[in-house]
Structure 1
């Protein structure tokens, strides 16, 4: 199966659902997006924009390793 995402005005929702209900459950499954999906998508879009415009804070593997070691050592005490 393939998945597509539709955005539509609320006033046509019933028409769309009426059309889609003409298909069998083997042919079509309606999947509702939840608020979690929308929030995560918003965060990822913002992160991607920062990468594209050069304002994202990026770390090398070595820098990340140093940060993690420091954090772990703080909790080991």
Structure 2
């Protein structure tokens, strides 16, 4: 299956849903988008911008391992 994102005026929602309801569940599945989509999109774009302009901070595998071990130990109990 493929996924597309639609933006529409709220006054046509019932018409869109009526049209979509004519398809079977094998043909079409309506997926509700998370309300945090726009915030996540901005966060990802900010990270991409940091990578492109050279201001991103990178970690070595050893630093990552220490961070992960610390995080895991906090939640082990």
Query: What TM-score, normalized to structure 1?
Result: 0.61
In structure 1, distance between residues paired with 2:12 and 2:41: 24
Give the match for residue 43 of structure 2: 43
Count how many residue pairs are aligned between Structure 1 and Structure 2: 69
Q: Residue 14 of structure 2: SS of its match in structure 1? A: helix
Where do 5+ consecutive residues of structure 1 fail to align? none
Please identify the structure whose Cα radius of gyration is greater.
1
In structure 1, distance between residues paired with 2:19 and 2:10: 15
After superposition, the CA RMSD in angstroms is: 2.8
Q: Residue 68 of structure 1: SS of its match in structure 2? A: helix
Give the match for residue 66 of structure 2: 68
